[in-house]
């Protein structure tokens, strides 16, 4: 057991009066890249088991969109506590969103399942006590996705967005206010019409706010192929994922379709209506013929607004931010590689 982990466990025992017992060494199960600079042990704390991952180099934790840590989390299937010499706000945010604890001996301890959140502040250390994890609205999420996809001009007005998304000026105004309050966009001028720009680099925006971006689509639902005739559909889900990776296409084709202005008319677009079959019913995609075989159906998901396509396929950003069944470990792993590729392509 290394010195850094010993310091963390001694702090839990002496400062917080918690009983810590070593269960077994997990280090050999770490990804190869991480194994060179880290150790891991399963520790029993007051009757509950945790995986303590001790790493002296923060860069090896957050490299490639936290790829190594995500793999450890999937493999261990235990609450994880990362022990570090130092931690930044971006990493704290990722850990909190993903329910991962951390200990920086002598400075901060955060273990959510133990209701522990301690920070030793000093006047030179910035501490974001008002950090919010509230999801963005649907239209703000789409605007972020357009920006991440390089599908917005550098400077834009509310009128530009009204034209692009085919929504009301009021809806765009609310979305802009939400992004302004989060300091994601800023006003370029004080005249009318007001001009805006995103003020956070794409990579930073993805890493810091990825988990606050609302899902951009419904889930998939089996639909008769004939009901999609005349619709502008595009490969989505696993069909699009197979295009960007070496994964084989799914047995049943997965496609997406965007709602038009008339489809959205007098229908609320919210996370609640995106869930379930509300849009499928309103657009006439559902049928009651349960005897039709799967070879006459496709899996369809609905996007309430315009998406960005790449070579006719749903682009990587919108694919990563759309709803997809990731229960299959093969699909989950490929999506993880997709998000890592997204981060690495940001400049």
pLDDT score of 169 more than 80 = yes
- Judged against a pLDDT cut of 80, whether residue 251 lies above it is answered with yes
Long-range contacts of the stretch 1-6 (C-beta < 8 A, 24+): 1/39, 1/41, 2/39, 2/54, 4/54, 4/56, 4/83, 4/84, 4/85, 4/105, 5/39, 5/41, 5/52, 5/54, 5/83
Q: Which of 95-99, 125-129, 260-264, 335-339 has the lowest mean pLDDT?
A: 125-129
pLDDT averaged over the chain?
89
- CA–CA distance, 18 with 13 (Å, rounded to integer): 5
Encode pLDDT of 212-239 as tens digits: 999 999 999 999 999 999 899 999 999 9
At 104-155, the pLDDT tens digits run 988 888 998 887 777 764 544 444 434 457 899 999 999 999 999 999 999 9
pLDDT the model gives residue 115: 75
| Residue 15 predicted with pLDDT over 50 | yes
* Most confident region among 126-130, 139-143, 179-183, 189-193 by mean pLDDT: 139-143
């Amino acid at each position: 057991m290394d010195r850094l982990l010993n310091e963390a466990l001694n702090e839990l025992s002496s400062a917080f009066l918690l009983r810590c017992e070593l269960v077994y060494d997990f280090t050999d199960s770490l990804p190869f890249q991480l194994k060179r600079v880290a150790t891991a042990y399963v520790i029993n704390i007051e009757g509950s088991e945790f995986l303590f991952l001790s790493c002296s180099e923060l860069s090896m934790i957050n490299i490639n969109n936290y790829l190594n840590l995500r793999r450890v989390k999937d493999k261990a299937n235990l609450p994880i506590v990362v022990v570090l010499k130092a931690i930044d706000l971006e990493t704290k945010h990722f850990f909190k969103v993903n329910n991962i604890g951390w200990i920086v001996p002598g400075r901060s301890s955060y273990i959510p399942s133990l209701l522990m959140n301690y920070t030793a502040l000093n006047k030179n250390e910035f501490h974001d006590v008002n950090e919010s994890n509230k999801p963005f609205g649907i239209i703000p999420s789409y605007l972020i996705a357009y920006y991440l996809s390089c599908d917005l001009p550098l400077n834009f007005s509310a009128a530009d967005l009204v034209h692009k998304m085919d929504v009301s000026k009021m809806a765009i105004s609310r979305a802009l206010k939400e992004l302004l309050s989060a300091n994601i966009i800023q006003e370029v001028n004080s005249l009318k019409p007001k001009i805006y720009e995103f003020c956070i680099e794409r990579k930073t925006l993805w890493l810091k706010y990825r988990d606050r971006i609302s899902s951009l689509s419904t889930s998939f639902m089996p639909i008769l192929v004939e009901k999609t005739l005349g619709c502008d559909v595009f490969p989505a889900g696993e069909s699009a994922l197979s295009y960007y990776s070496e994964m084989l296409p799914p047995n049943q084709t997965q496609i997406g379709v965007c709602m038009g202005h008339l489809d959205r008319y007098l229908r609320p677009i919210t996370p609640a209506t995106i869930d379930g079959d509300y849009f499928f019913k309103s657009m006439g995609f559902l049928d009651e013929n349960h005897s039709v075989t799967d070879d006459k159906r496709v899996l369809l998901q609905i996007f309430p607004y315009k998406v960005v396509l790449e070579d006719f396929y749903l682009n990587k950003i919108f694919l990563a931010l759309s709803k997809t069944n990731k229960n299959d470990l093969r699909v989950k792993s490929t999506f993880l590689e997709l998000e890592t590729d997204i981060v690495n392509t940001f400049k």
